[in-house]
Chain A
Amino acid sequence: MPTINVNKKEFMKLIGRKLSDEDIEEKISMMGVAVEEIKEDEIVIEVFPNRPDLLSEYGLARAASTFLGTSKGLKKYNLNKSNYVVKVEKTLENYPYAVAAVVKDLRLNDEKIREIIQIQEKLGLTFLRNRKKGGLGIYPLERIKFPVRFTTEFPEKIKYRPLEYPEVLSANEILEKHPTGIKYKHLVQTWKKYPIFIDAKNTIISMPPIINSHDVGKITEDTKDVFVEATGTDFKTINTALNILVSALADMGGRIYSIKLIYGKKIYHVPNLEPEKIEININYINKKIGLELKSTEITNLLEKMGYGIKKKGKYITALIPPYRTDIIHQIDLAEDVAIAYGYNNLKPEIPNVATIAQENKFEVFRRKVSNILVSLGLLETHTYNLTSKENQTSHMNTNIKCVELLNSISEGYDVLRAWIIPTLMQILKENKHNEYPQNIFSSGHVFKYNSENDNGVDESIRLAVVLCHSTSNFTEIKQVLDALSKALDFKYEIKEVEHNSFIQGRVGRISVNSVDIVYIGEIHPQVLENFTLEMPVAALEINLTELYRLIKTT
């Protein structure tokens, strides 16, 4: 999850209140962000993906000042009228939208420029899903001649000097040579035409969502007025992104001017900073949190979270700040009320409601099996379901189809096991320095492809037992099987089979009511050698899922 670095002094100045490190730790983390680290003059804050509006010092300070009580309710942003026009023409089907705004009278310095870049980058990375859903751009206003057009062009016809690059490049060259171009090439390379912003002098000012022009798209300390735009795949998303950006710029001291946005015959005035409204259901909120708050208490708490409140007779409406993206249901208001109330002020309560407990019956059976084996002196091990193909096949002298993982990053763990004995063999291999006898067992999942099932595999739970010491043999492992069969009251048969993991003539397939429930035998010395073992191993594997079913139905 994204983190932002916040300058402590600046942050407190913005809130209008001093905070000790304990205050930051205790209070800030209760408002819905995680305090990662408190340094001498900096705080590292982790912002959850539902609150992209907190991805800047200004956004965070705005939320903190109402939460801590130095201000109250919805912060109003004045929208000034202007004659700036942006025309959206011939857009791409999968990248059709653009919105824009003008912000004037910014007094930028290094710090603020860094902050603007941080917002732009973090929003691009998280809220806009690494620019997959869109991008943001900021330009010095005086370089641009309106009206600006958002249009498309063939890559070979796009030529301009990209940001921080010494020379003019074509679109294709940008994707090959410019660091940002290389990074985001994958987003656009299948498109026939690329989206561009172009001004009234026919100067290309940027190629979203890749990169701005250096000549007209670089802000400096001398920049006072800026043109900002957001483009992308979803109109609502880019509007919110634009709102988050312009409200932070306004918090920096800028004045927001609206733009006339022309989509063919439709005309919008953006940014749209009009708060959306949601009716407050006092009952619902109280019920979900477990409180009995009065309506004024709830409205106060919502104001603490930055909402505006409008009352009309019996109806109370919450005005959702235009930079919030996560308020889509009454339950979202309930959460904000709970946060404002303070999670640490909630009294735990177990309701007086009777329900009947029930352990899973197969799990009861499985535990019984484990306890029987323990009573025979066996040691239980606990094994991963993930293993290597070699462990399951070549090391066991056999060939068996395993369910494969597409993308495991852990070497040696790239398939789901098809049987358990190999996992126990690996344990024996790793315990050669420990005392013998090593008589161990494990029960767990095994997997096999089966396209009949919704999840494409058969999953069952199996048991494996291996006996390893200088005289372990078939008799001994069969005694274990006999003990299980008596204790669990099932009758079995053993059929002679050939299986390369075992010694020929000393391996059998166990069946109950003519249903195979897997193997018993002495492990082949070649397999022992593969696992570098110098002790004989007698082994047993039983499909417990199947056995349980068979026992239940007889």
Chain B
Amino acid sequence: MDIKGLVDKLHSLERKVLPLLNKYVNFDDLVKNSSLQEVEVMRALQWLENKEVVKINSKEVKTISLTEKAKVYKELPERTILNSLSDKETTLEELKNKTKLNDTEINATIGLLKKKASIDIQKDKTLKIRLNENGKKLVNKKTPEEELFIQIPNHNNYYKTDLTFDQLNDEQKTAFENLRSRGLVTLNIHKERIIMLTDLGKELIKQKIDLNVIESLTHEVIKNKEWKKKKFRAYDIKINVPSINRGKRHFVDQSIEYIKQIWLDLGFQEITGNIVETAFWDLDALFVPQDHTAREMQDTFFIGSKGTMAKGKLPEELANKIKKVHENGYNTGSKGWGYKWKPEIAKQLLLRTHTTVLSAKTLSKLKKQDLPDKFFAVGKVYRNEALDWKHLFEFYQVEGIVVDPNANLRNLLGYLKEFFRKMGYTDVKIKPSFFGYTEPSAEIFAYNPVKRQWVEVGGSGIFRPEVTKPLLGFECPVLAWGLGMERIITSYYGINDLREIYKNDLKYLREVKEFSM
């Protein structure tokens, strides 16, 4: 960046700090001599460092200071005591009165002087102390500890002008340790920041730096027409900015909308309906025999409490037909299942196990003159399964039916292929399968070109006449499919564990990509 561009982009804080760098290198001095807060100076220096204008070197500085106890002393206690003694004996009592020191201080200091062999002590009824020759010399001469003591500033702040440990010579260091062991001095470690101008900085500081630039275009700036007189500070427009959390649709809802749009584009009508249904609509109407395993507890959620199954009501006229279809085929050309159909079993209430129940209900309302027609649903269905990475108990099915007197198996394949093409799957194949209510029945596989694999995506077929004839009242082929919605979208989102889909981790929801093909 050229130096001019650099000048333009300086923030007003940087503009205030920069000139000071001619005079001061120490952070504390910069703060003291600027009219800014410490954080403001720091921020300006960090920005300048990012621009490689300055280099901030931090080093540890060990300063020496007096402890609270020592701050009250005008001189060290040994000086006070030395001055109170002579070559004549002084009793401890007298010494106490003279010096006004307390017992611990007196005892400690006497011990100290004794160590230095500068006093003689006589033990009688009381202690009697006098200076010896050695001691007399000390009266006129300062100890190294005293020398050090008077050099230590008696204040609470630390400045670089303070005495630092590194400045001490060996003798002073010993004196320091002695004073420290007596609890009179401490060592303070603090960080000192030295700000050095880089070559670029030295160049920059020579430039004319306008202190009076507009930082923000405020209401006042506009109103006072200040912008006509001043320049705008230029921004670093490449800088990273904090992220914002926007409002957003859930990714499953986005996917559902996309899926719905495909069926709408293909001319299908949307159907919706109840989640709680009688077994009649979910199973009996679809020619599922009453002894089928789907009716057993392990597969289906039944409504009820305390062991009693809740029951709903049957559409009487239709129920009569369905009964005959199950028992002997009725007028469908089928032989039926050949057992005695019981309305009580059909009345059991359950959570719909497939959206095919919506198709069955739609067929029951359809009139011959409405044909051909096509319907779809994207709805929740339920299986009584324990939640794990590949099983959900509540999930979505994509349902479709085509009611057309001329519909055939190739058409079924055509619609599915088109749907999956729009979903990003390049090919579709079907394999023979079995579902009680379709004949022919086919398992659907879609080819995922990214993962290069065939994915099992659902079941399909043509509804059996035993299903369509009683519901419609006439015979007409009905193409039908039920696709696992979650199966289709997981690879798009890179989800391997189905539970992740409905976990509602807000961070994930905020960050996950939008659904778009």
A residues whose Cβ falls under 8 Å from a Cβ of B: 29-32, 34, 48-51, 129, 132-133, 234, 236-237, 287-291, 328-332, 334-335, 338-339, 343-344, 346-351, 353-360, 362-363, 367, 370-371, 373-386, 403-410, 413, 416, 427, 430-431, 434-435, 437-438, 440, 442, 445, 447, 453-457, 459
Q: By the criterion CB–CB under 8 Å, are B386 and A440 in contact?
A: no
Q: Return A295 CB to nearest CB of chain B, in Å.
A: 18
Verify if B313 is at the interface (C-beta below 8 Å from A).
Answer: yes
Stretch at the interface among B32-40, B147-155, B230-238, B429-437: B429-437
6 contacts between A and B (CB under 8 A): A339-B440, A350-B418, A359-B270, A386-B382, A406-B301, A406-B310
Q: A347–B408 Cα gap in the complex (Å)?
A: 11
Q: By the criterion CB–CB under 8 Å, are B329 and A328 in contact?
A: yes
The one of A289, A355, A427 in contact with B408, judged by C-beta atoms closer than 8 angstroms, is: A289
Q: Return A386 CB to nearest CB of chain B, in Å.
A: 6
* Neighbouring A residues of B433 by C-beta, 8 Å: 32, 34, 48
Verify if B269 is at the interface (C-beta below 8 Å from A).
Answer: yes
Q: By the criterion CB–CB under 8 Å, are A288 and B276 in contact?
A: no
Q: Which of A34, A381, A453 has the most CB of B within 10 A?
A: A381
Given A31-B432, A346-B409, A405-B301, A431 contacting B505 (CB threshold 8 A): yes
The one of B349, B410, B439, B502 in contact with A382, judged by C-beta atoms closer than 8 angstroms, is: B502
Q: By the criterion CB–CB under 8 Å, are B303 and A404 in contact?
A: yes
Verify if B265 is at the interface (C-beta below 8 Å from A).
Answer: yes
- Give the B interface residue count (CB, 8 A): 103
Q: By the criterion CB–CB under 8 Å, are A373 and B415 in contact?
A: no
Q: By the criterion CB–CB under 8 Å, are B276 and A416 in contact?
A: yes
Q: By the criterion CB–CB under 8 Å, are A434 and B385 in contact?
A: no
Q: Quick one: closest A residue to B248, CB to CB? A: A379
Q: What mask results when residues 482 to 505 of chain B are scored 1 for a CB within 8 Å of chain A, else 0?
A: 000000000000000000011011
Q: Which of B269, B407, B504 has the most CB of A within 10 A?
A: B504
Verify if B442 is at the interface (C-beta below 8 Å from A).
Answer: yes
Q: Quick one: closest A residue to B501, CB to CB? A: A382
Q: A354–B268 Cα gap in the complex (Å)?
A: 10
* Neighbouring A residues of B312 by C-beta, 8 Å: 453-456
* Neighbouring A residues of B274 by C-beta, 8 Å: 455, 457, 459
The one of A287, A335, A370, A410 in contact with B441, judged by C-beta atoms closer than 8 angstroms, is: A335
* Neighbouring A residues of B329 by C-beta, 8 Å: 328-329
Q: By the criterion CB–CB under 8 Å, are B267 and A357 in contact?
A: yes
Verify if B372 is at the interface (C-beta below 8 Å from A).
Answer: yes
The one of B268, B333, B382, B504 in contact with A431, judged by C-beta atoms closer than 8 angstroms, is: B504
Q: By the criterion CB–CB under 8 Å, are B301 and A435 in contact?
A: no
Verify if B6 is at the interface (C-beta below 8 Å from A).
Answer: no
Given A48-B434, A406-B304, A434-B507, A357 contacting B250 (CB threshold 8 A): no
Stretch at the interface among B85-93, B126-134, B172-180, B334-342: B334-342
Q: By the criterion CB–CB under 8 Å, are B406 and A287 in contact?
A: yes
* Neighbouring B residues of A360 by C-beta, 8 Å: 270-272
The one of B250, B298, B417, B465 in contact with A380, judged by C-beta atoms closer than 8 angstroms, is: B250
The one of B247, B332, B372, B436 in contact with A377, judged by C-beta atoms closer than 8 angstroms, is: B247
Q: By the criterion CB–CB under 8 Å, are B509 and A381 in contact?
A: yes
Interface hits, B406-450 → A, CB 8 Å = 406-411, 413-418, 428-434, 436, 439-443
Q: By the criterion CB–CB under 8 Å, are A407 and B338 in contact?
A: no
Given A31-B432, A363-B270, A407 contacting B394 (CB threshold 8 A): no
Verify if B2 is at the interface (C-beta below 8 Å from A).
Answer: no
Q: Quick one: closest B residue to A438, CB to CB? A: B506
The one of B277, B336, B409, B415 in contact with A338, judged by C-beta atoms closer than 8 angstroms, is: B409
Q: By the criterion CB–CB under 8 Å, are A362 and B247 in contact?
A: no
Q: By the criterion CB–CB under 8 Å, are B439 and A356 in contact?
A: no
> Top 8 nearest A-B pairs by Cβ distance?
A290-B408, A48-B434, A290-B410, A406-B304, A335-B440, A374-B247, A348-B413, A32-B432
Q: Return B350 CB to nearest CB of chain A, in Å.
A: 9
Q: Quick one: closest B residue to A430, CB to CB? A: B504
Verify if B170 is at the interface (C-beta below 8 Å from A).
Answer: no
Q: By the criterion CB–CB under 8 Å, are B441 and A349 in contact?
A: no
* Neighbouring A residues of B293 by C-beta, 8 Å: 129
The one of A289, A351, A354, A379 in contact with B509, judged by C-beta atoms closer than 8 angstroms, is: A379
Q: Return B417 CB to nearest CB of chain A, in Å.
A: 5
Q: Quick one: closest A residue to B395, CB to CB? A: A384
* Neighbouring B residues of A434 by C-beta, 8 Å: 505-507
